[in-house]
Amino acid sequence: MILPPATLGMLGGGQLGRFFVSAAHEMGYKVWVLDPDPHSPAGLIADRHLVAAYDDYGALDALAAGCAAVTTEFENVPADTLDYLGKFIPVHPAASAVAVCQNRIAEKTFLADHGLPHGPCAVIRGEDDIRSAPAALFPAVLKVARFGYDGKGQARVADAEEALAAFQHFKGEPCVLEKMLALDCEVSVVLARDETGAVRSFPAGDNRHRNGILDVTIAPAQLAASEAGGVATEAQRIAERIAERLGYVGTLGVEFFVCAGELFVNEMAPRPHNSGHHTLDACDVSQYEQQVRALCGLPLAAPRQHSAAVMVNLLGELWYADGKGHGAYREPDWSVLHAVPGLRLHLYGKHHARPGRKMGHFTVVGDDPGTVLERALGARAAIGIRDE
């Protein structure tokens, strides 16, 4: 075990890292953050912020010398960086697991090799791959293999001609062509796994997106009565199998499509997940504390959700007069949120808002799921989030 007051390292300085720093501080640890942004939210509250690139070996050597173990909050940290640090100190999750999750081609290959459910797809490395793709794959979504998230690097395509145009727009980057599925809903499971193989899963959440970015998470998931128990339990089982096959240590998020009651893995996130923010306010232990525990070899807590919860993301367009990213730049009127019973507001301390950027979130908690959802959607409208 790595015990307080040891120093832990965090690669990435975003909001997920900020919550990790807070959790580690509460448990008695110090945290160093490596992130190239001098204004990074996690770096602002860390004990030390190394402002450097993820492949800056001088900074990596300093991190290895000063920290007892290292983790990440950002799947696009180069796997080579994790592998290098792993030569000197414990690194969780391992480079091998992150390498699978950060590349859609590797991810789909992993799912296929291990018999895990996923939708029909094709690997696209050149235009001929699109021309030879089965017609049954269309309509589809073309996704770049690397660095695509929150709807970035994705294009809906009706046929091969549109796919070719999108592939050219992506400058020939390797892609995955995924058949568009008729969705009942989308759910996700957040879990933690330790070095002994012990796994603790949070209840599945029901996710709703807007413009390709997570908008609302309802936890536990509100599924149709015919699906509720089976789908949620099966999602946990599949997520736990993924963690076991990856040899994963840390907090992992797995997103699923639900189609006619059947589950398909959409994406895997080798870190805490946006849909797990509610664990801060609605559970006995948060996904971030579990990340600290897994990294340090502490026993994982058995997560219990004590309240119904609805989480709503707050994106950068709210900071503009028209609520869409245009007009005068101003702070939203947070008083309308603070007036809502059971609402907890979390702002990330990012220095500039821009449309689509995750600036904060709020979670509404309570005993009755219907009342919680009604209050959360009311608060969402009151702060200015508009459905398009």
Annotated binding site for ATP: 104, 143, 148-154, 178-181, 186, 209, 266-267
Residue carrying the six token digits 């002994």: 196
| CA-based nearest residue to 190, from 146, 246, 256, 245 | 256
Whether 332 and 323 have beta carbons less than 8 Å apart is answered as no
Whether 70 and 296 have beta carbons less than 8 Å apart is answered as no
Report residue 164 as tokens.
Answer: 């070719």
- By CB atoms closer than 10 A (0-12, 13-18, 19+), residue 138 is middle
The CA-based diameter of the chain, rounded to the nearest angstrom, is 59
Q: What residues are designated binding site?
A: 104, 143, 148-154, 178-181, 186, 209, 266-267
Report residue 217 as tokens.
Answer: 């998470």
First-to-last alpha carbon distance for the chain, in angstroms, is: 50
24 alpha carbon, distance to own chain's centre: 19
Q: Which residues pair with 311 in a beta bridge?
A: 217, 363
Residues 6+ away with beta carbon under 8 Å from 90: 2, 68, 69, 70, 295
Whether 201 and 240 have beta carbons less than 8 Å apart is answered as yes
